[in-house]
Amino acid sequence: MRDLALIGGTCLLLLVVVNTFVARPFAVPSASMENTLRPGDRVVANELAYAFGGHVQRGDVVVFDGTGSFLPYAAEPTAGQKMLDRLGLDPGSDTVFVKRVIGVGGDRVTCCGSDGRLRVNGVPIDESAYLAAGDAPSKVAFDVVVPAGKLWVMGDHRSDSRDSRDHLGEPGGGFVPESRVIGRADWVVFPFDRWTSLDRPEAFAATGGTGGHGHPR
């Protein structure tokens, strides 16, 4: 029994360490990222993607805590909730969102030009690789400059996504602090027939070096 308890405790400790510092699973709660992600998909957030001086890149799909940007500041979670979260067993938090990064600190993001495209630092973005079928880049016109250390994020299913556009008139202007990013969503791991990697779209390569720190890999 002592050996079993030791093995169980070691496994639990490893699970906590992995979920805290390496990778953490999350359930996709809505259709805002279709068809890239569907409700019920399980994604793995790579928590080391931006460690050791790395920064969020344009085009990345990120998991972030929307407290203070998309949502008012909420009460601190209980110790039990924190433990379930670290184990990857929390059924899902109302403060966690999954969106695609369109602009990083220093970027000017506008929509839409005469060609109907979204632009980052004046570069038109071909979003056909991930934008939901039939969706326009945005039915809401905007022209924003992303503050340093912040992100402008949008869902791939633009007509069914509450994202940075919906918070333009609120404190924070819809910008998400980089410090609130939990990790980069690198893989869909469930359902098994949906297993795939979430690679950065080639469309954002053309914006490299045009401002901010979102240079392509």
Catalytic residues: 32, 99
**Buried/exposed 157-166: b ≥16 CB within 10 Å, e otherwise:** bbeebebbbe
Q: What is the H or E stretch that residue 181 is in?
A: strand 181-190
**Secondary structure of residue 5 in the 3-state scheme:** helix
Eight-state DSSP code of residue 36: T
Antiparallel, parallel or unpaired: β 61-65 and 181-190: antiparallel
Cβ–Cβ < 8 Å for 62, 98: yes
Antiparallel, parallel or unpaired: β 23-27 and 42-46: antiparallel
Cβ–Cβ < 8 Å for 178, 151: yes
